[in-house]
C-alpha cells in the first residue's frame, strides 16, 4: 500500500518536473494577461499605471463609440470579403496542382511561395505594385498596353478593399491549398475509376465526388480563416495604415491606438474583450468541428 502511494507521489513529482517550464510561461504570458486585462478594463489606466477605478464605464463607453463600431465593421468587412475569396482560390489552386502533370511539384512550390514572405515584404510589394501614374507595376503594365486611365487602388474606398483582400489572398492561399491537396490525396482512386467506367465526365466527377468529399476540409479552412481574419492587423497597418480616412482601420489597430497613442490602456483592454468574445466563440466551434471530424 505504501509502496503504491510512494509510486503515485513519485509520478506526480516527475510529471511536475516535466510540466513546470512550460506551465510557468503559460501562466505568466497566456493566462495571467487575460485576468490582468479584465482587471485593467475596470480602471482608467495610463502607460504609467492605474489611475481611477471606474467600474464598467470603459465597456459602456466603447459600446457607444462610433469609431469602435467602425473598426469592428471594417474587420468584419475584411472577414466577409476575404474568406470566400481565399477558400475559392485555394480550392482552385489545389485542383490545378493536384492534376497528373510533369510540373506538379513546381506548381505547388510556386503557389506556396508568397506564404513564405514576411508581412512587411508583401505589404510593400503591394504598395509598389499598386502605385498610380506609371510608377507601380500594374499602372506601368496598363500604360505599356496602351490603357490611359489611372486607377487609384489605395485611395478609392471600394478599391482599397479589393487591394487589401487581393494581397492577403495572394499571400495566404498557398497554405490552404496545401490543406486541400492533402485532402484530395486521401480520396481513393477507385472512386474515380468506377465513375469513369460508368461514363462520368471529369467535370461530373468533380461535382459528385471531389467537392462533396472535400466538405470537411472546407469547413476546417472556413473556421481557421474566420479566426485568422478577425485578427487582421499587420498588412492593413502597413499598406493603408487604416486609410483612406478610417475606411480600412481594423479593430486591432483601433485598440492599439487607444492604448499606445491615446494612453487609454483600460479602455483598450475593455475593447479587446469584444474581439476576445468573437474569437472564443469561433474557436469553440472549431474545436467541436475538428473533434467531430476526428470521429
User: For residues 98 and 248, which CB has a smaller minimum distance to other proteins in the complex?
Assistant: 98
Least separation in angstroms between CB 161 and other proteins? 19
* Block residue for cell numbers 470521429: 295
Which residue among 94, 114, 160, 240 contacts other proteins (CB under 8 A)? Answer: 114
Site for other proteins in 48-77 (CB under 8 A): none
Least separation in angstroms between CB 13 and other proteins? 9
- Distance, in Å, from the CA atom of 105 to the CA atom of 191, rounded to the nearest integer, reads 24
Q: Where are the alpha helices (DSSP H) in 27-117?
A: 32-40, 57-63, 66-97, 104-112
x-marked contacts with other proteins along 127-166 as a string, rule CB under 8 A: -xx----xx-x--xx-xx----------------------
Site for other proteins in 203-262 (CB under 8 A): 217, 220, 224, 227-228, 231, 233-234, 238, 252, 255-256, 259-260
Stretch touching other proteins by CB under 8 A, among 12-20, 58-66, 78-86, 206-214: 12-20
Site for other proteins in 264-293 (CB under 8 A): 265, 268-269, 272-273, 275-276, 279-280, 283-284, 286-287, 290
Which residue among 6, 32, 207, 215 contacts other proteins (CB under 8 A)? Answer: 32
User: For residues 182 and 208, which CB has a smaller minimum distance to other proteins in the complex?
Assistant: 182
Q: Using the rule CB under 8 A, is 191 a contact of other proteins?
A: no
Number of residues engaging other proteins in binding (CB under 8 A): 93
Least separation in angstroms between CB 75 and other proteins? 11
- Asked if residue 25 lies in contact with residue 11, where contact means CB atoms within 8 angstroms, the answer is no
Amino acid at each position: 500500500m505504501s509502496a503504491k502511494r510512494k509510486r503515485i507521489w513519485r509520478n506526480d513529482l516527475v510529471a511536475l518536473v516535466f510540466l513546470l517550464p512550460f506551465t510557468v510561461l503559460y501562466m505568466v504570458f497566456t493566462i495571467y494577461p487575460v485576468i490582468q486585462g479584465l482587471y485593467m478594463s475596470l480602471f482608467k489606466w495610463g502607460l504609467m499605471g492605474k489611475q481611477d477605478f471606474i467600474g464598467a464605464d470603459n465597456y459602456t463607453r466603447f459600446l457607444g463609440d462610433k469609431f469602435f463600431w467602425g473598426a469592428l465593421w471594417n474587420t468584419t468587412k475584411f472577414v466577409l470579403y476575404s474568406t470566400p475569396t481565399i477558400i475559392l482560390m485555394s480550392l482552385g489552386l489545389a485542383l490545378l496542382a493536384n492534376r497528373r502533370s510533369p510540373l506538379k511539384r513546381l506548381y505547388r512550390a510556386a503557389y506556396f511561395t508568397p506564404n513564405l514572405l514576411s508581412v512587411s515584404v508583401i505589404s510593400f510589394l503591394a504598395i509598389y505594385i499598386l502605385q498610380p501614374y506609371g510608377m507601380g507595376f500594374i499602372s506601368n503594365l496598363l500604360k505599356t498596353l496602351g490603357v490611359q486611365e489611372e486607377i487609384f487602388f489605395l485611395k478609392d474606398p471600394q478599391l482599397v478593399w479589393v487591394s487589401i483582400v487581393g494581397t492577403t489572398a495572394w499571400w495566404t492561399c498557398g497554405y490552404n491549398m496545401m490543406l486541400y491537396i492533402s485532402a484530395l490525396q486521401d480520396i481513393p482512386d477507385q472512386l474515380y475509376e468506377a465513375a469513369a467506367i460508368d461514363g462520368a465526365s471529369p467535370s461530373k466527377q468533380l461535382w459528385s465526388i471531389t467537392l462533396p468529399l472535400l466538405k470537411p476540409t472546407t469547413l476546417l479552412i472556413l473556421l481557421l480563416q474566420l479566426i485568422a481574419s478577425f485578427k487582421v492587423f499587420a498588412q492593413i497597418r502597413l499598406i493603408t495604415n487604416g486609410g483612406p480616412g478610417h475606411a480600412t482601420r481594423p479593430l486591432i489597430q483601433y485598440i492599439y491606438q487607444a492604448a499606445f497613442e491615446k494612453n487609454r490602456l483600460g479602455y483598450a483592454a475593455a475593447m479587446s474583450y469584444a474581439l476576445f468574445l468573437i474569437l472564443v466563440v469561433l474557436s469553440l466551434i472549431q474545436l467541436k468541428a475538428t473533434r467531430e471530424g476526428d470521429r
